[in-house]
């Protein structure tokens, strides 16, 4: 039995040729596509609505996501509604996932991806959007190696996330304690998930493998073989109490950039082998580049909004 009705989806997107499935995310199936008018590859996410979920809710979220314009966020091109399903048309990324790159990732490269992801989250948070499902499979790379945060399909407006959420959605191994408990979500919830991802990228193991589960009473474990300053950054992101956790993705980005510069040298970003675009002011403040220098001199692009 097919995972989706290909004929119905094709009828809803007459200007596209649809291809093979690319994967299944937390919010729906993703298939390849080709836009005839623009002559470009796309990815189409098929979102099946629950009977009690009005179509207007999907349209509101789609407009919210389409308004996100950041170099480290996957772009949304189109949105189509049909009966019991909706379609999000997004840019297609061909560089694989962070999960697939993990075996060859160096510590500076892992920190660079963490910096890019925190910049993307900070940008989304300032526009009132929480991701709620940050994990290695949702950080993808384009053909040039630029990392991008994908699968905002279960994202939620910050103001709609408290005082409590009615449904626990996400990937349990990367969910903060308050998210697992169905409590109030905030930017620190995404910071926790990013902390888990970075812990995994730097150590090769998940915090749960070291005895740290979100439901445990113990504090974050000391990550094995991680430089001290980076371990402190991870501890701040993995605090169980969101009020004691690094409270914003912007603060996490600064802490991470500063720690990496102190551990690996001020030119760590240019030597990481990663192409990222983060705010120049952040790099200057974190002492990664001297005032007045071009951001590109450390291997990062300029622009892309605040981190």
CA-to-CA distance for 266 and 268, rounded, in angstroms? 6
- Catalytic site includes residue 151: no
- Cα–Cα separations (whole angstroms), residue 73 to 50, 146, 198, 252, 263: 27, 10, 18, 18, 28
Q: Which of 148, 156, 90 is nearest to 129 (CA)?
A: 156
147 CB-side CA count, 13 A: 30
Cα four-point dihedral sign 31, 35, 36, 39: negative
Unique residue bearing structure tokens 């995404």: 190
DSSP 288: S
Round to whole Å and give the CA distance between 117 and 256.
Answer: 11
**Length, in residues, of the chain:** 307
Query: Which residue bears the tokens 């445990």?
Result: 216
Out of 78, 133, 142, 267, the active site residue is 133
Query: What are the residue ranges of helices labelled H in 145-286?
Result: 177-180, 187-203, 228-237, 249-264, 268-271, 280-285
- Which of 288, 281, 242, 291 minimizes the C-alpha distance to 112? 288
Nearest to 188 by CA among 198, 178, 201, 199: 178
- What do you get for the CA distance between the two ends of the chain, in Å? 44
Catalytic residue ranges: 133
């Amino acid at each position: 039995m097919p995972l989706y009705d290909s004929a119905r989806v094709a009828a809803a997107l007459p200007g596209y040729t649809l291809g093979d499935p690319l994967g299944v995310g937390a919010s729906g199936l993703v298939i390849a596509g080709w836009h005839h008018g623009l002559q470009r590859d796309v990815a189409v996410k098929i979102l099946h609505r629950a009977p009690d979920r009005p179509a207007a809710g999907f349209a509101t979220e789609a407009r919210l996501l389409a308004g996100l314009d950041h170099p480290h966020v996957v772009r949304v091109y189109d949105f189509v509604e049909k009966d019991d399903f909706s379609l999000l048309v997004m840019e297609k990324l061909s560089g694989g996932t962070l999960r697939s790159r993990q075996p060859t990732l160096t510590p500076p490269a892992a920190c660079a991806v963490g910096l890019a992801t925190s910049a993307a989250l900070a940008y989304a948070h300032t526009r009132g959007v929480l991701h709620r499902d940050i994990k290695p499979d949702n950080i993808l790379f384009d053909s040039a190696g630029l990392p991008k945060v994908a699968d905002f399909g279960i994202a939620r407006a910050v103001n709609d996330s408290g005082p409590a959420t009615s449904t626990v959605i996400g990937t349990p191994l990367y969910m903060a304690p308050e998210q697992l408990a169905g409590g109030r979500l905030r930017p620190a919830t995404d910071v926790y998930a990013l902390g888990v991802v970075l812990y995994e990228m730097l150590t090769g193991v998940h915090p749960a493998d070291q005895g740290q589960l979100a439901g445990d009473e113990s504090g974050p474990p000391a990550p094995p073989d991680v430089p001290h300053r980076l371990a402190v950054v991870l501890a701040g992101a993995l605090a169980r109490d969101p009020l004691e956790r690094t409270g914003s993705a912007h603060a996490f980005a600064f802490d991470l950039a500063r720690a990496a510069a102190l551990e690996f040298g001020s030119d760590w970003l240019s030597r990481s082998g990663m192409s990222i675009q983060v705010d120049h002011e952040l790099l200057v403040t974190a002492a990664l580049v001297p005032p007045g220098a071009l951001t590109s001199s450390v291997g990062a692009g300029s622009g892309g909004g605040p981190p």
